[in-house]
Amino acid sequence: MHPMLNIAVRAARAAGSIIARGFENLDDLNVEAKGNNDFVTKIDKEAEKAIISKIQSAFPDHSFVGEEGGSINNNPDFTWVIDPLDGTSNFIKGIPHFAVSIALLYKGKLDQAVVFDPIRGELFTASKGSGAQLNGYRIRATKGKDISSTILATAFPFRDKARLQESLSQFTRIFSQVGDVRRCGSAALDLAYVAAGRYDGYWEKGLKAWDMAAGELLVKEAGGLITDYAGNNDPLYAELKAPGSANGLVAGNPRVVQHIVKQLKG
């Protein structure tokens, strides 16, 4: 395992322990609203602090971009992008579907990734050029197949209901042609599941850099493709350059991605 990936795994497990303990005591979360249908708990904050502390102990000069405000600008060559608890709404409601997401960018390019599900004990990892793994075993995205038999994943614009009709129209076009569609509430796990071949594809708009960073590298290293809604590459880098500018994300094998993009365009 790459040394930096090894540290990321340790950080993810440290955060996972905090999250698992918090999940056993949901009456003591101190839930706060960050925005419309956007919540944070003391567990999110504690988990992010644990991740940064663990990584800083090994790499004190690295930079960080964290969902819960843990942004530190040091060495720009090494930037960790962190979502300490992706799926906070599930967590708050006691739904056991959420994950820790950690990615490292080296000179602006994805280099290492970890998505850790602390409830199922599933650790998804990837290093650039070395493939993707689940608990140490190689995983691969699905290969081209009949669209009518695919299982896809998505999300609805729960923070921006003004986009609901557009989103429903896109959903209807896609859903009518595929096997089924899941909506589970964690972008990091949706992308990890695409990498593992559990889902054939995934699309969502409104993602932040920390939602997609680790999952994007997992999918690519598992042989999948990542585009935006227009079919352009690298929505993550658009979001990092100008937050809020990414034109959605589509993931899957090339055939599935091509089909989803076509339907998204109408």
Report the alpha-carbon distance of residue 134 to residue 150 in Å, rounded: 22
Report the alpha-carbon distance of residue 51 to residue 72 in Å, rounded: 13
Integer-rounded Cα radius of gyration of the chain: 17
Question: DSSP code of 142?
Answer: P
Give the residue-averaged pLDDT of 173-199: 96
- Global pTM reads 0.94
Cα distances (angstroms) measured from residue 19 to each of 11, 68, 130: 12, 15, 29
Q: How confident is the model at residue 96 (pLDDT cuts 50, 70, 90)?
A: very high
Q: Count, in order, helices (H) and strands (E) of the chain.
A: 8, 14
Domains of the chain: 3-139 (3.30.540.10), 147-264 (3.40.190.80)
Tell me, what's the pLDDT at 188? 98
Give pLDDT tens digits for 110-158: 999 999 999 999 999 999 999 999 999 999 999 977 899 999 999 987 6
Question: DSSP code of 163?
Answer: G
